[in-house]
């Protein structure tokens, strides 16, 4: 069942989302060649704990506050002593539990100077999220969101990851519905005012098949091809949507 949030609940989620966006801005400034992903995680946790709790730490046994997924890793990469190198790309995925509600967001960043194909992958994935957000309004369906992501990504010669998806969010980190990155227009549940969910395009340069990472927590592309990931938490308004994990509003 897809929960409908009250205006008071959405105000709380908006506060938490803005806090999370500010934390992400701090983290982005620290991403550079030579830094260890565990250092980014320590900073992330210290910032989150000033306002609330880490959404991810302890969720299904995940050991960290921040997900750091590098190159072929798609999501749920565990921070470690691994050092970021010039030419890598990294997805930072973070959530906060603030005043009883979760918010969740992700970005993919280049490390130093990277190859043009990697920059293009990041650009396409970010734009896929932007295109998907335009479909969030009452009366549309979740299939409209999914189809918009798939059509744009595939038109650019890339593939959407099909076994992972976005999700509803609120008092629980993962709620109904699933927000797929592929599908048919006019399919799935209708979007209604008061719904809150995460849209998160995950894109591979080549094949969309995935497998678990060696540590068992994360996922990576089965063929070792590069992957990128962007995510926002949104609330459906009367005529469109409000991006909760955004500093601009």
What is the per-residue pLDDT across 181-206, written as a single tens digit (0 to 9) for each?
A: 999 999 999 999 999 999 999 999 99
Closest CA to 139 of 198, 194, 197, 193: 193
Question: Quick one: fold of 7-243?
Answer: Creatine Amidinohydrolase (3.90.230)
Q: Is the dihedral of CA 26, 27, 30, 32 positive or negative?
A: negative
Integer Cα distance of 10 and 173 in angstroms: 15
pLDDT of residue 247: 82
pLDDT of residue 55: 98
pLDDT digits (tens, 9 = 90+) for 130-175: 999 999 999 999 999 999 999 999 999 999 999 999 999 999 999 9
pLDDT of residue 249: 53
Exposure class string for 41-50: b at 16+ Cβ within 10 A, else e: bebbbebbee
Integer Cα distance of 179 and 165 in angstroms: 6
pTM of structure: 0.97
């Amino acid at each position: 069942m897809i929960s409908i949030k009250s205006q008071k609940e959405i105000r709380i989620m908006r506060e938490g989302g803005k806090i999370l966006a500010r934390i992400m801005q701090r983290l982005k400034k620290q991403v550079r060649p030579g830094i260890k992903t565990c250092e980014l995680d320590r900073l992330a946790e210290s910032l989150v704990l000033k306002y609330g709790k880490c959404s991810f730490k302890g969720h299904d046994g995940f050991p960290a506050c921040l997900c750091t997924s590098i190159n072929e890793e798609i999501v749920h990469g565990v921070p470690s002593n691994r050092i970021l190198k010039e030419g890598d790309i990294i997805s930072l995925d973070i959530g906060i539990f603030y005043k009883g509600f979760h918010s969740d967001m992700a970005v993919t960043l280049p490390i130093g100077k990277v190859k043009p194909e990697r920059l293009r992958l990041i650009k396409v994935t970010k734009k896929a999220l932007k295109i998907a957000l335009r479909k969030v309004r009452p009366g549309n369906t979740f299939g409209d969101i999914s189809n918009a992501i798939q059509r744009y990504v595939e038109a650019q010669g890339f593939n959407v990851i099909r076994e992972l998806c976005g999700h509803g969010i609120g008092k629980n980190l993962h709620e109904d519905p699933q927000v797929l990155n592929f599908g048919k227009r006019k399919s799935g549940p209708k979007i209604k005012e008061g719904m809150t969910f995460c849209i998160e395009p995950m894109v591979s340069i080549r094949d969309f098949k995935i497998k678990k990472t060696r540590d068992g927590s994360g996922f990576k592309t089965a063929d070792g091809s590069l992957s990128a990931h962007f995510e926002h938490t949104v609330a459906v308004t009367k005529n469109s949507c409000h991006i909760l994990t955004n500093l601009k509003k």
